[in-house]
Amino acid sequence: MRKFRWIDLALLPFGLCVLFLLLLGKLVGLTYKQISVVFNLWAQGAVLALSGLAPFGVIVYKMLESFSMGCLLLCIVFAFYGMAYVYAFVKMLKHYHLPFNDAFDLCVRDLQWLAKKWHTSYQMVNLLIFVLFYLILLGLNFLICYYLFSL
């Protein structure tokens, strides 16, 4: 009997993610590789880039209500913060450029390289990046915006 490994727990959620992408692809008429690139790279990347810009938008809105040097400083800080997200998104788009098959295959190779480097499985790295890290960054940007609105 094979020994239990915690990494094996990644197989079920990874399989559910694959199933979701297969169904979504079927719904919009895209192959698995195409929907993976569109959803995981383009859509999630765009949402993260926009969420990274959101704190800047909130602080500009707050500055319009009442100007202060503190708001101006926060505005500058969050402008750079948002630009870092947009810069990362553009770099990612350039790295994983079309055609779809090439973008997908390159992403898989990169994830496999990370899995080897992190001593884990391809599925675990996939879940960490496209689910856990994504939700953490999105949640962080939401919390920053929430805090800025409460100032």
Inside any domain, residue 107: yes
Inside any domain, residue 34: no
Name the residue type at position 67.
F
CA dihedral 66, 71, 76, 81 (to 10 degrees): -110
pLDDT at 10: 73
pLDDT reading at 60 higher than 80: yes
Inside any domain, residue 2: no
Average pLDDT over residues 41-48: 97
User: Domain containing 134: what range?
Assistant: 39-150
pLDDT reading at 6 higher than 90: no
Residue-wise pLDDT for 82-108, tens only, equals: 999 999 999 999 999 999 999 999 999
pLDDT at 12: 84
pLDDT at 151: 83
Inside any domain, residue 116: yes
Q: Could you say which DSSP state residue 66 is in?
A: S
Burial 16-49 (b: 16+ CB within 10 A, else e): ebeeebeeebeeeebeebbbbbbbbbeebbeebb
Mean pLDDT of all residues belonging to the chain: 93
pLDDT reading at 128 higher than 70: yes
Contact 71, 62 (CB under 8 A): yes
Inside any domain, residue 122: yes
Inside any domain, residue 131: yes
pLDDT at 11: 81
Tally of domains within the chain:
1
